[in-house]
Structure 1
């Protein structure tokens, strides 16, 4: 079932879904970058994230925010997009009622939306936040951050300066009961041009470490359905 359509508050939402072969496998939702700057669910980093989760046995969903691709509605400066993300998680949970957990992952604008969803849905147990735009959007809602996760940033990011992400990470690290890991990709800009491989190595290493105590049968690497 690679192509899916589900309902959101602004109408139909277009997505791609990879079901796990394991009945109670965890869910992962992957969020794309800014819709007004070319962000779609087919962005290379979103695509790579999607398969990183799929290869590790997750039931994983990526989708287009409202107004992108075949998703109905129009850009809503974050509020509507958060609603879209909540609808995506609702849909994934409805068809995976026995899922034993959930992860959220997002890039840039999608990272901001993902962290907001994290605050609203206690079942989200892990996150991956790539180049979170800490200088462009308010992240003060993360008080406290309820789950452990990974924040990845490019060393030469001119869109989101390193100091802003570092300040966010340090703030989150002061909270008890969770572990925030930070990885800086040497030489990488905001879009990780020519640095996708080290970016994904950092992410997959983190996922493998977090999942080491959880038994999920990995998907064969040659099998792709979305």
Structure 2
């Protein structure tokens, strides 16, 4: 789990990167929660997502956005953080030119940033959004959403009530060619205390299903 520093839009960004031994391995970018509320790349759920992709053989990067940890700059209300995510993706792609797939996984504020990045990068093949803050941000930019993914919510989440996430899921599922795998964890609050293992299992199950179907889709094309 080497420590890395790479160039961001307003200075150096700090990250942790796992490089797969397979030069054709898929890539995963992991995005942390809100930096003004203690969100860092070492957040428990952020780390859980990182480890899940690592176990599945991905090359995977998690990083601190501007102003967090040793990353330079300061919080920019979301816009600059999207640029940071794009820089992180550029860095990872530059050393993995043969990657077979690309996933974005974000938790809370990181889910919002990740979905914004999804709309800017057509090469993304899958996404994970854990507790996307549908009651705090307008996700109307997902029109149309380029591909399906996995959304996870807790039914005891007081910061992002599950019905708000369900509304977003239902809206996305009306779009042609988009299917959102929606999973609700009973008793889970916003920090998913005692549910990290369930998050990991859901991610691995969803990603493995998608990877199994991908060859079939390519053959059909």
Residue in 2 aligned with 1:9? 9
Tell me how far 1:201 sits from its aligned partner: 1.8
* C-alpha RMSD of matched pairs (Å): 1.2
Q: CA deviation at 1:198?
A: 1.9
Cα distance in 2 for partners of 1:214, 1:129 equals: 20
Q: Is 1:132 the equivalent of 2:132?
A: yes
Say if 1:18 and 1:214 are closer, same or farther in 2 by CA, change over 3 A: farther
How far did residue 210 of structure 1 move? 1.6
Alignment of 1:58-73 (within 5 A): 58-73=58-73
Partner residue, 1:83: 83
After TM superposition, the score normalised by the length of structure 1 is 0.92
If each structure's helix is expressed as a fraction of its own residues, which one has the higher value?
2
CA distance in 2, matches of 1:92, 1:203: 21
Q: Which runs of 4+ in 1 moved over 3 A?
A: none
Question: Counterparts of 1:199 and 1:158 in 2: how far apart (Å)?
Answer: 18
Cα distance in 1, alignment partners of residues 100 and 198 from structure 2 = 30
Which residue number in structure 1 is paired with residue 219 of structure 2? none
Q: CA deviation at 1:213?
A: 4.6
| Structure 2 gaps, min length 5 | 216-221
* Equivalence for 1:46: 46
Ranges in structure 1 where 5+ consecutive residues have no aligned partner: 216-226
Aligned to 2:178: 178
Q: Deviations over 1:40-66 (max 9, x none)?
A: 001111111111111111110000000
- In structure 2, distance between residues paired with 1:35 and 1:83: 15
User: Matches of residues 25-44 of structure 1 in structure 2 within 5 Å?
Assistant: 25-44=25-44
Higher RCO, Cα 8 Å, sep 6+? 1
Partner Cα separation in structure 1 for residue 155 and residue 204 of structure 2: 19
Preserved CA contact (<8 Å) 2:30 2:106: yes
Verify the 8 A CA contact 2:10 2:73 in the aligned structure 1: yes
- TM-score between the two structures when normalised by the length of structure 2: 0.94
Matched, 1:24 2:27: no
**TM-aligned CA deviation for residue 108 of structure 1:** 0.1
What displacement does 1:71 show? Answer: 0.2
SS at 1:72 equivalent: coil
Tell me the equivalent position of 2:103: 103
Using the TM superposition, give the Cα deviation of residue 214 of structure 1 relative to its aligned residue in structure 2, in angstroms: 6.3
